Structure 1
Amino acid sequence: MAEFFVRLLKRVDELNVATFAPNKGAQDDFNQQAEEFMAGTVWPGSCTSWSCGPFRLNSILSTDKHGYSGKITAVWPGSSFHYREVLEQDRWEDWNWTYPAGRYKIWGKGQSRVEKESGDHNYCLKYGSFLS
């Protein structure tokens, strides 16, 4: 999970992002997928433990007499290996990004990183074996 957050923060920095949050459609789809998966496991039962959320509005699962919805909140809907694989996929389209005014100022003054660092304006000719 730490690697995912490093990639996320790197993207925020590189694109000069002001704010970011998962979009509602992605959250709703994930919750639906998770609830459907959990329904086929031993977790939902008549659970009143800390792993089951006590109050859930608009859940596809009904609440019991204690007000527990049965929504599992503490367990990933899959194996730990599956969790790692999912976090390796950066689904940036599932996020809402906002930018400050002048979002393209991060492009700088029209020079590539190589030009700025080395001052070499013939980089393509020297190192561009892809040209031949």
Structure 2
Amino acid sequence: MADFIGRLLRRVDELNVATFVPDKGAQDDFNEQVEDFMVGAVWSGTCTSWCKLISSCFLFSSVLLQNGQGQSGKVTAVWPGSSLHYREVLEQNRWEDWNWTYPAGRYKIWGSGKSAIEKSGGDHSYYLQHGSFLPCRGVGTAHMQEELKD
């Protein structure tokens, strides 16, 4: 989790993000995933548990037993999968699951329109392969020679 938060804060810093919140649609989809996973899981059984949603602010056993929600409440505090699955999921950034705002607009981070290479005086054509622009010898040469004779 700490690695994910570090990547999240690095993105906020590098892209000059003003605010960020989880996307409502992503939250709804995740909640649906959790509910589907919990069907038949041990946590959803009829027992008193700290991992079930209760309406009271106090998470004492007596409250759970008095209002009965500890037995039938919605499971809200358990990842819908194994701990290894949790780690794998957190290795993904999934920035599309967030809503981002920027103080000056989302594309202002692009800057003046010059690349880092242009600013540093580097090779402006680094992406071109060096060598002949003509096709390899033998490819179409007979046809070209015939046209040149005419």
What TM-score do you get using the length of structure 2 for normalisation?
A: 0.65
SS of 2:107 mapped into structure 1 = helix
CA distance in structure 1 between the aligned counterparts of 2:74 and 2:130, rounded to whole angstroms: 58
CA distance in structure 1 between the aligned counterparts of 2:96 and 2:108, rounded to whole angstroms: 23
CA deviation digits over 1:48-105, x for unaligned, max 9?
22221213xxxxxxxx962344322222110011111111222222111112134433
Amino acid at match of 2:114: Q
**Identity over aligned pairs, percent:** 68
Distance 1:47 1:54, change over 3 A: farther
SS of 2:20 mapped into structure 1 = strand
CA distance in structure 1 between the aligned counterparts of 2:39 and 2:105, rounded to whole angstroms: 47
Distance 1:128 1:28, change over 3 A: closer
Mark the runs of 5 or more structure 2 residues left unpaired by the alignment.
56-64, 132-150
Q: What corresponds to 2:15 in structure 1?
A: 15
Structure number with bigger Rg: 2
What TM-score do you get using the length of structure 1 for normalisation?
A: 0.73
Q: How many correspondences in the alignment?
A: 121
Distance 1:131 1:92, change over 3 A: farther
Mark the runs of 5 or more structure 1 residues left unpaired by the alignment.
56-63
CA distance in structure 2 between the aligned counterparts of 1:10 and 1:67, rounded to whole angstroms: 40
Superposed CA RMSD: 2.6
CA distance in structure 1 between the aligned counterparts of 2:114 and 2:23, rounded to whole angstroms: 34
